[in-house]
Structure formats: C-alpha cells, structure tokens
Chain A
Amino acid sequence: MNQYFKEYFDVKTLLICLALVGMGLLSIYSATFDINNAANFHRQAVWAGIGFLGMIVVMLLPIRTLQRLAFVIYGVVLFVLLVVLVVGSTIKGTKSWFGVGGLGGQPSEFAKVATVLAAAAYLSRTEVSITRLKDLIVTLVIFGVPMVLILAQPDLGTTIVFFAALMPVLFWAGASNFILIAILVPILVAFGALFGTAAFLIAAAIGAGTLYYFRENRFAVAVAFGIALAVGLSAQLVYERLPAYQQKRIATFLNPEADPLGAGYNVVQSKIAIGSGGLTGKGYLHGTQTQLNYIPEQWTDFIFCVPGEEFGFVGAAFVLGLFAALIFHGISIAGLSKNRFGSIGAIGITAVLATHVAVNVGMAMGLMPVIGIPLPFLSYGGSALVANFLMAGLLMNFYANRKEH
C-alpha cells in the first residue's frame, strides 16, 4: 500500500500547496480582519475547500480524458472570454469579471490552464512537430487568441503571464534558438517603440544582430526582422490611437515612479512593510503597515508583504522556499513524464506559476514594475485560488501518470 501510494501520489505538491494556502489564509486574515470582519478570510477559506475538491478530481481523472477534453475546455474558455468582453462588469477599468447568479469569476485565470492544456494536447499529437512552421504557427495561435482577448479587457499582467508561459513551452517542445529569438525580438522592438524613436532604433539594431547571430537561413532572418519592425511601428501607431486613460495605464506600467501616489506609492509602502519586518518580523497581527492599511488592497496583489512584515525574513524566505521547491518539482515531473502531454503540460503549468511568483514577489520588493497579477495560493481571489488548485491537481495527475506512454 505504502509503495503504491508513493508511486502514484504526489505528496510533495500536495504539502507545498497546502502550506502555501495556509500561509495565504493567515495573511488574508491579518490584512482584513479589522476591515471587514474577516469576511475575505471566510470566503477565501470556502474557495480553498472548493479548490481542494477540484484538485482531487483533476488528479484522479484519467490523463487521456484530460487530453481529449483539452480543446473542449479551451473552446469554452475562449467563448467565456468573448462574452466577458461584451457584457462583463468593469472592475477598476478592466472588464474581466463574469457574474453568474451572484458568483463572480475571472475567466482569464482559467484561460491560463486551458491554454496550456490545449497547447500540450496539440503538441503531443504524433504528426505534430514544433520544428515545422505550420505547427509552430498553430501553437502561437493557441496562445495568441486568449492573449488578444485578455489584452482587450485590458489585462496587461495576465497577457504577460501567457507570453512568459509560451516561451518555456516552445523551448521544452524543442523549438530552435532562432525561433525563440524571432518571437522575442518583436516584443523587444515594440517595447522600444513605446519609449521613443531612439529606443526603437536601438532595440531594432540589437534585434537584428541577435537574429543574425542565431540565423538558420538569411530569408528567415529577413522575415523575422520584418515582422519585428512591423510590430514595433504598429505598436507606436496603436499607442497613439488609444484613449488617454489607456495611454496613462501603459505609461505607468513603463515607468511606475512617474505616478508616486498610484502604483509607485504601493511599492514604496510594500518595501517599507517587508523591510521593517527584519529577521523575525513584528509578530502575527502586529505589522503596522499591514494593520493600518498602508498598502491598498494588500490582500490581493501585495499579500507577500504580510508574511514579510509580520514573520520577517524567516517567514518570507519560507514562502519563497516553498515556491522554489514547487517550481523545481514541476520541472522534474516534466522531465520524468514519458508522455508529451503530461510533460509539456507540467512545464506550461510550472511556467505559469513561476511567472506569477517572480513578477508578484519582484513587484512587492520593488524589482519589477507594478503588474497586477496575484501570488499563487496566497492572494485573495476565488478564481485564482481554484485555478491554482486545478494546476496543482494537474501536476499531481502528470506525476501519477508519468510512466504512461
């Protein structure tokens, strides 16, 4: 029995996720118990229960069923994303909430899982190879459609997560260096374009050089560079036609310090919270930054400040350590999987989680621009928590089925 258990049950993922959720509940309680009588804590606890059940179900599903359902799920999610764009309620200027009979949900959280699964399902087909241009394009489209829909909400942060997950998936599936570079260069050039002509030209020059260095043939370099220039120039044009509030949003994203009372303020206060925690923290429920609400809506994107302030380096390093262990474990599952679906799925999920952690924690510590994405398992939010549990369930499923071909 014990042998069987070890063989098929991924205890590591389970324990890490439970520890993270526990830490998240503690932190949400601390950040909100005096604001709304811990209502957020109670709701999050309910979502954790639902998520946990979802995780068990996903873990126990036959992997073939998952593989077959992947496109169905993907289709449903795309439909919902489309509906959200049309009728979704606007929260903080972003249409991403989907209200169904009082239950709110953020479909984009589930879109990440569905997209990864769909890409894994596609790339695991016998006749498909990422080295073929057609298959590469299909894969890019699988990622691209939800990205465009989410960008239209507009939710820049989640779009970036999609992109960050796409690269490891392509890399893992065997894409050449040139392909990876060819995808990165247009982003670089578009980014440069938003900073002005000089930055655009520099980015284009660097892009051209890098493409040429990793060249497979000159024609491909020319095409890739042409695409990069086109994207960069259109980024400029699109930016200029955007409504002022969206331009401001992008400007703040590019330079948070320019808005010290907005995003910049949060980072300043977040750094104070974490820094003032010291080695062992100020004690649970005794963090002044947290208890006195210096960080707006801390329980969502800035939840990392709570363990940082109240449990200090010991607590924050413990959380980071759990994430690191989860990411390395995810890579191991991908490496151990004898089937492509599980292997690519594990990498995609791990990449999604890793991106969330790096961007969120980096933002809280002032290393990253303020991009509103939640910290997996810790941030308040039902959709994200359930989606995270589903991803954990998938990892556990891929672990259990790692020897299937």
Chain B
Amino acid sequence: MGPVIDSGEFGSRRRQGVLRLVTLIVFSVLFVRLYQLQLISHSEFGRKSEENSVRTIVTEPVRGYMYDRTGKLIVDVGPSFAITATPASFDSAAARELATLLDLDPAVVIDRVNKGRQYSRFSPVRIKRDVDFQTLSAVEENLYALPGVGYDVESKRLYDYPIRAAHLLGYCKEITDAQLAKGGDAYRPGDLVGATGLEASYETFLRGEKGFEYIAVNSRGQQIGPLEHGQRDVPSQSGFDLVLSLDAGLQAYAESLMTDYRGALVAMDPNTGGVLAMVSKPDFDPSIFSGVTPANDWNRLNTDEAKPLFNRATMTRYPPGSTFKMLVAAAALEEGIVDEQYRITCTGGFRFGRRLFKDLHVHGSVNVVQAIEKSCNVFFYQLVLKVGLDKLNEYGRRFGFGKTTGFDIAEETAGLLPSAAYYDRVYGKNKWTLGNVVSLGVGQGEIGVSPLQMARYAAALANGGTLLHPHAVERIYDRRTGRSSDVDPRPVSLGLKPETIRILREGMREVVQEPGGTGGLARIPGIESAGKTGTAENPHGADHAWYIGFAPFDNPRIAIAVLLENSGFGGAKAAPIAGKLMQRYLMGEAKPDSTRAYAAASENLLH
C-alpha cells in the first residue's frame, strides 16, 4: 500500500486536536440548547403543547330537583338541545344559512360566535338554546355546509306536577355578562342561572359542577379521542336536590282557591315554620322560562299592570288591619297595663283631640277577648294609647315585623313598623302627634306587613308563643352520596306569659267559633279553629282583606295568612279561603259547608 504517513501535516496530532475541539464545541452547543429547551423553558413549551393538542369539552351538570314534603317531584329536569358553534372552525360565510335554519338574524349568530371566541376559540358556544326537534334535524342534515356547528344537550326545567308556585320556586335565566364576570370558573356564556325564588337563592346548591372532558386533537384540529383514555376527565356532578316543606296537593288547591283574586296566601306548619303553601296571584307559568323565553312573553309579563312577576306573598307591604289587634293586646297584657277583666264601653267611636276615630258597630261593654272576637276598634284605640308607641314597637319587633323573616328567597320586604324615631324622621321632631299612634291600635296608618310575616305571626299565636324561622326548604339532598342536611328552623320564644297567650288564643277562637265572631266563614266542620279578620284601608281604591288563622285550636297543625287585594272586608272572602284550605290540609279534602252554618256566620261579616 501507500507509504508510511509522512512527517508533514497529514493526520498530525495538532490537526486531530483541532477536530476534537471542533466536535466538542459543536456538541456542547447542542447540549446547552437541549438543556435550555427541556429544563429551562420546559413550562413554556409544556403549556404550548397542551394548548396545541388538548381541547376541553365542558359537560353540563344536571340541575338539582325539587320535591315536596311528601316526596312528589315538583321541579324536574328534561333534555333540551342547543345549537352550538365552535369559533375556531366556524365559517362566518355559513352564518347566513345557520341563521335561516334557526330563524335568527345573521348578526346575532356572528355576535354570539365572537363573544364565545373571546372566552375560548375551541369551546362550542351556544347559538340558540332549546330548539325543537325539527330545527335540530334541519341543522343536522345541513352540517356538511356548516363547519364547526354542532349541538349540546342541556337540561331544562320541567314542571309536571300541576302547580305553579312560580314566585316561590322561581325561574332561571341566561347568565348576564356581569354575573359571568363575577362567577369565575363555575359559569360560561349561555349558562342558565337561577334568577328568582328558590332557583336563585339555592343556585350554588342546585347548579351542580361542570365536568370536563379532555379531547386529544391532531394538527388539523380533528378530534382523535379521549386524552389518556379519559383518565384526566372530570365528570360533571349533579346539583343537590331540595326537599321542600311545601305540600304540593295543598299548593294546587290553594292556587285554585285564589284563582279569581289578586292577593297572596301563605300556609305554614306552626310547629316548624315550614311553608306548606305559598300563592301569589296573578301568577305565571314557570315553564315559559324553562327554555328560551320568547321576548313577547317576557314583555307581556313585565308590563302587565297586575304585576304577575311580583311576589305578593313576600313583597307586599299593606297595613295588617284588625289582625294586628292581638299584638296590641299582647303588649298591654304583658306589661300589666290591663288584665282579662279590664273592660271599656264601646260607643261606636273614639274622639281623640279634634279627630273622631270610628268603629263599625256599637259594641257596648267589652273585655279584651270580646274586643278581639268582635273586632272592636274603640277598645284598641284606647288600649294602644296606654301601651304607647315604644312598647308597641318593641312587641312588634318581637313578633318579627319591620324586618325580613330570613325566608329562603331573596324577594322579601322588611315591611314597616314605625317607631318614634321613624315619625321624627318623616314628620320632624314634635311635628307628629299621638293621633298617628291611635290608628296603629287597629293596624292602620303607617304600618306595612307582608303575608309571610302575617303567617309567621299566626303560627306564633298558634304554637303558644314561639316565633319560627319561616322556610321552604327542609332538606338539601346530595344524590351522589345519599347524604342530606336538614335546615335548622331556629325557633325563638317570644317570652310571653302563658296567660297572655291563652287570652289571645281565646279571642281568636271566638272570632271563628262563636256566633258573634267576624271570622265564622273560616269554620271547619268538626274541627275547632281560630283566626282574625282584618281590613287594610287603601287610599287608592277598595280596601284589602286579611285573614289569619290556625287549626286545630288545641293542637295546631296549620297556620295561615290570606290577603285579597281590593276585596273589602276580611271576613267575607279571605276567611272562607283560609277555612277551606285548612280543612283540606287537616281532613284531606274540603267538605262542602253546611248552608246554615254559612248563613249564621254571614251575619257577623261586617267586621
């Protein structure tokens, strides 16, 4: 072969060293770069790789159900289809066709897609919710021309049981931008959230938790399948169910009794404070809110002068009228101002200063029981002056007036219970007189109570002096774990002497049971009940009628407050409604009134 390598530069040690050095430098650069990519910038590239390849699909939870006290399912959930579009793959050229299929304005479609794009390019955004089956089929048939379009199965409220209870149960509406900004991760655009009633106040319990499915996506955006065999997926979790104190059968009956009236009715268990029935009339069918509410339905409800959306059971603030008399009596008896033997003579009117306060009848000599039974105004005009404004206010507060009851729903008024400070504020110091206070003795004037407050008041008188926490939700039930938590009724004793309670209750019993009572129309055949009629003077029109009561007298199981707007005297129409409802609750059904008993009771109506 060739000669021995010559002594020149060929393959010299120096040249070998240069080649080794170059190799070392090149590999060092590669190693440093590798280190930089994989160990220093790892998190950045890790995030990019996730963004690249993983799409998060949100799975909607099933909203919690609502059951009545007997276990009847009254608020159910059913499937509803929403047409969606994924912003990343949606072709805005197809917006017109999609809009035509969905009967929407193309601008609305584009607007919704753009809104969703800000949230996530790859999450489908709901274009139209609760579409009917024909629309769904039409969209499906045209999917080839509608890139990025799909549908979501959502849940919507079903109300199969024939009750409305719309103001209590409430309804859901599509989430607003403000709620979305506040709600954090729990919501996304197009979600339904509770807007009123229990749906709103128990929103965090009812809504459940969204699930997440992670889908692997290839470089062309096609979905390949579940990421890591779905091991990282988080299933959606159904909302908690609510078990209500409501009696669905009683509620249905109460709604039927109230059909022709404007007003409200609240029936309560006087031992627990659980609301058995709550009606506000006129009302609306809550199912119109379960899917997509047509704009004209919404406008009609919103502009109706009868205000069907307004919850009269918790938000009206009318004077209690004569139903307030037990409270005035309670203050007087407790404070030792009068006793059971104390009597006055009713001459049919009471002159105070230059003003004459009228009574409807000349009742003659009456004691406190008779004054309640016959609803003698003169007795209470005089009594309230003895009690004084401060004590009246103190006892009013004890019975829960002038403040909200803490009922489950947010729509509630505190009402108005005046104090000296209140009059000072309204009229100025020393610019008001005791004349203002005289009216309060018969529950008129500057005082406002809600039917819910009145039902609680009736319940406290029924149960012997314990003020209850009115509530509609008895238990919150977790379907997954089978665990439930009871709502604590938190009863508060009014601290009244048993003798006081006995006197007040006797007065109320005589209102219904004695021939001279004003509430005879509330009588229940075979069951002794007690109550009180009331009439709230209405400067704008016909007076509002009140009736509060409870039954059975000895062991009350139901307390009730009925308010009928512009309906005149409480005994005429409000009392029979209360009687029928309590009868239905206690006996299972309403037995027809005996004509004679009705006629006898009618004589004493005008009180």
Contacts and interface: CB of A to CB of B under 8 A. Distances in A.
Interface of A: 64, 67, 124-126, 129-131, 168, 171-176, 269, 271-279, 286, 288-289, 291-294, 296, 308, 312-313, 316-317, 320, 323-324, 327-328, 331, 334-335, 337-341, 343, 347, 354, 358, 361-362, 365-367, 404-405
B5 A292 contact: no
B38 A328 contact: no
Interface stretch (B42-50, B449-457, B466-474): B42-50
Given A288-B53, A343-B5, A358-B30, 14 more contacts: A64-B1, A172-B10, A174-B11, A274-B37, A279-B39, A288-B49, A292-B217, A308-B38, A313-B38, A317-B31, A335-B16, A339-B2, A341-B1, A405-B4
Nearest to B220: A293
B11 A335 contact: yes
Contact of B38 (A274, A324, A367): A274
Contacts of B23: 324, 327-328, 331, 354
B8 interface: yes
Contacts of A171: 15, 18-19
Given A276-B45, A365-B34, A313 B39 contact: yes
A172 B19 contact: yes
Given A171-B18, A274-B34, A331-B20, A125 B2 contact: yes
9 contacts: A126-B3, A131-B8, A174-B10, A275-B49, A276-B46, A289-B52, A323-B27, A335-B13, A404-B1
Interface residues of B, number: 46
Interface in B208-230: 216-219, 224, 227-228
A275 B38 contact: yes
Nearest to A344: B11
Contacts of B54: 288
A271 B46 CA distance: 10
B304 interface: no
A286 B224 CA distance: 14
A276 B45 CA distance: 5
A365 B34 CA distance: 7
A124 B33 CA distance: 39
Contacts of B34: 274, 308, 313, 316-317, 320, 365
B39 A278 contact: yes
Interface of B: 1-5, 8-13, 15-16, 18-20, 23, 26-27, 29-31, 33-35, 37-39, 41-42, 44-46, 48-50, 52-54, 216-219, 224, 227-228
B27 A324 contact: yes
Query: Among the interface residues B26, B41, B44, which one has the most CB atoms of the partner chain A within 10 A?
Result: B26
Nearest to B16: A335
Contact of B219 (A124, A168, A292, A339): A292
A205 to B, nearest CB: 26
Contact of A274 (B5, B45, B216): B45
A256 B49 CA distance: 21
B219 A271 contact: no
B49 A276 contact: yes
Nearest to A339: B1
B30 A362 contact: yes
B8 A289 contact: no
Given A276-B46, A294-B219, A172 B11 contact: yes
Given A278-B46, A313-B35, A288 B2 contact: no
Nearest to A287: B49
A334 to B, nearest CB: 7
A338 B48 CA distance: 53
A334 B16 contact: yes
A294 B50 CA distance: 12
Nearest to A347: B19
Given A294-B53, A347-B19, A361 B1 contact: no
Nearest to B34: A316
A361 B8 CA distance: 35
A396 to B, nearest CB: 19
Given A174-B10, A278-B39, A292 B216 contact: yes
B1 A320 contact: no
Contacts of A168: 19
A392 B211 CA distance: 55
Contacts of B1: 64, 67, 124, 339, 341, 404-405
A288 to B, nearest CB: 4
Nearest to B38: A313
B218 A293 contact: yes
A320 B50 CA distance: 26
Contacts of A175: 9
A365 B11 contact: no
A271 B45 contact: yes
Contacts of A323: 27
B37 A331 contact: no
A217 to B, nearest CB: 19
B35 A367 contact: no
Contacts of B4: 338, 405
A173 B8 CA distance: 9
B38 A292 contact: no
